[in-house]
């Protein structure tokens, strides 16, 4: 991969117990999956994708923007530690206005060409109260690009997890309602059937990217439910990598085959052949038949008459 690989110094910013845990998990991945792990981060604009990349890396590697004007290009951050390379690809939000931005999607596909996606992080906010058609469109677009199998390698990440739930909800109930609603949309958008539920058991992980997050006595960030955001995220990423499913190799076939316009282009010669044999040919045949039946056209008979004596 062409990007610059730097030493992963940000790992030293984590509490020492977290560092040990992270290295242990990466060691596990190294054993089973080779010495590189590539994570693709997707979602709508402003949900905390870039902040999550920075939280995992432990440094401000990509820019974070509160007003949603993101860069239009994907960006890969590569960090190495103990012979292991972690690549995280941050992407711009795929929605523009009310629709999928096809150009952004096309740029993303080209960027990913010949890369392997080991894990997909589908990011959204925990503190949102409803899901809508936009969420479904993003999931659908991702599925069309990389195939349904990508959801075997996916995690839903919910940011802004340091939250006080609305009245009448415990933190746990609120999280499970929000996760349930989002997972439902993911299943619908990805076209996963009910019987796929077991195979595509997509885990949900809560993350708090802001410094506002509570810390325990060992200076480790902890969420209201007692879990530690980033180590828990890395642990879940490890589980997904080791779940027996395949990584997604983004090859030319996948990129071009997933463009509906390209697919239709292949049908053009067939459509012409169909028109020629089933429309043009029958019309030609009908005209010839008519001519043969009528002999000389009626206008000829009328103008010149059938009285041959007049002509001679
Ligand atoms: P992106 O557009 O999806 O890449 O979102 P960004 O990472 O740029 O974040 C958008 C805004 O949300 C920024 O102002 C971030 O500081 C803020 N933000 C992101 N994640 C969190 C989070 O977990 N908690 C809080 N409080 N703010 C966050
Ligand atoms: Mg961003």
Sorted by where each begins, the domain ranges of the chain are 6-256
- Mean pLDDT over 11-34 rounds to 81
Cβ atoms of 136 and 59 closer than 8 Å: no
Q: To which H or E segment does residue 117 belong?
A: strand 116-117
Amino acid 311: pLDDT: 47
Q: Annotated binding residue at 208? A: yes
* Across 180-206, average pLDDT: 85
Token pair of 114 as six digits = 């010949």
Cβ within 8 Å of residue 132, ≥6 positions away: none
Question: Which range, of 40-49, 104-113, 122-131, 245-254, averages the lowest pLDDT?
Answer: 245-254
Confidence of residue 312 (pLDDT cuts 50, 70, 90): very low
Nearest to 92 by CA among 113, 61, 64, 115: 64
- In the reported structure, the alpha carbon of residue 51 is separated from the centroid of ligand 2 by a whole-number distance in angstroms of 7
Ligand 2 centroid vs 40 CA: distance in angstroms?
13
Nearest CA, atom 13, ligand 1: 66
Distance (Å) from CA 133 to ligand 2 centroid:
21
pLDDT of residue 265: 63
**Which ligand does the CA of 45 lie closest to?**
1
Q: Tell me the H-state helices in the chain.
A: 16-33, 49-57, 102-112, 133-146, 171-190, 229-241, 252-257, 260-275, 281-294, 298-304, 308-311
- Strands 154-159 and 119-125, by their bridges, are parallel
Q: Is 49 annotated as a binding residue?
A: yes
Q: What are phi and psi of 224, to 5 degrees?
A: -55, -25
- pLDDT given for residue 72 in this prediction: 74
Percentage of residues of the chain with pLDDT beyond 70: 87
Residue with tokens 């992980």: 205
CATH domain 6-256 topology: Rossmann fold (3.40.50)
Give percent above pLDDT 90 in the chain: 37
Is 51 annotated as contributing to ligand binding? yes
Angle between helix 133-146 and 102-112 (nearest 10) = 30
Whether the predicted pLDDT of 300 surpasses 70: no
Please give the Cα distance from 104 to 142 (Å, whole number). Answer: 12
Which residues crowd ion ligand 2, with CB under 5 Å?
49-50, 70
Q: What is the pLDDT of residue 296?
A: 60
- Provide the pLDDT for residue 280: 87
Average pLDDT (50-74) is 84
* Number of Cα atoms under 13 Å in the Cβ half of residue 24: 9
**Contact in structure between 140 and 99 (CB atoms under 8 Å):** no
Helices 49-57 and 229-241, interaxial angle, to 10°? Answer: 90
Question: Hunting for tokens 């089973």 — which residue is that?
Answer: 32
pLDDT at 1: 46
CA distances from 96 to 91, 102, 259 (A): 14, 9, 19
**Strand, helix or coil for residue 87:** strand
The Cα angle at residue 120 between residues 117 and 125, in degrees rounded to 5: 155
The tokens of 69 are what? 């004007």
What is the pLDDT, as a whole number, of residue 160?
94
State whether the Cα torsion 166-171-172-175 is positive or negative: positive
Residues with CB under 6 A from ligand 1: 43, 45-51, 64-66, 68, 70, 93, 159-160, 208-210, 212
Q: Report the residue among 46, 48, 93, 208 best suited for mutation to probe ligand 1: largest number of ligand atoms under 8 A from its CB.
A: 48
At residue 77, the pLDDT reads 95
Whether the predicted pLDDT of 293 surpasses 60 = yes
In this predicted structure, what is the pLDDT of residue 299? Answer: 57
């Amino acid at each position: 991969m062409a990007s610059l690989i730097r030493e992963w110094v940000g790992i030293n910013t984590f509490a020492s117990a977290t560092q040990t845990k992270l290295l242990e998990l990466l060691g596990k991945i190294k054993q089973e999956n080779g010495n590189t792990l590539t994570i693709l981060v997707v979602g709508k604009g402003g949900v905390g994708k870039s902040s999550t990349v920075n939280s995992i890396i432990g440094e401000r590697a990509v820019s974070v923007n509160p007003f949603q004007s993101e860069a239009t290009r994907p960006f890969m951050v590569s960090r190495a530690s103990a012979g292991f390379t972690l690549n995280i690809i941050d992407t711009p939000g795929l929605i523009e206005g009310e629709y999928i931005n096809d150009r952004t999607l096309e740029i993303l596909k080209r960027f990913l060409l010949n890369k392997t996606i080991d894990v997909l992080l589908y990011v959204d906010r925990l503190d949102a109260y409803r899901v809508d058609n936009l969420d479904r469109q993003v999931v659908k677009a991702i599925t069309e690009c990389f195939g349904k199998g990508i959801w075997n390698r996916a995690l839903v990440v919910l940011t802004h997890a340091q939250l006080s739930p609305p009245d009448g909800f415990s933190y746990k109930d609120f999280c499970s309602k929000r996760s349930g609603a989002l997972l439902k949309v993911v299943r619908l958008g990805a076209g996963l059937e009910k019987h796929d539920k077991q195979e595509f058991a997509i885990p949900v992980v809560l993350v708090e990217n802001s410094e506002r997050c509570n810390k325990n006595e060992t200076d480790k960030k902890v969420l209201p439910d007692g879990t530690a955001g980033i180590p828990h995220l890395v642990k879940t990423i490890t589980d997904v990598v080791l779940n027996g499913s395949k990584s997604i190799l983004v090859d030319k076939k996948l990129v071009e085959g997933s463009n509906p316009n390209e697919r239709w282009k292949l049908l053009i010669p067939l459509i012409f052949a169909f028109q020629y044999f089933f429309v043009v040919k029958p019309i030609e045949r009908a005209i010839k038949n008519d001519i043969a039946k009528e002999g000389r056209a009626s206008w000829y008979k009328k103008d010149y008459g059938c009285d041959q004596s007049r002509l001679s």
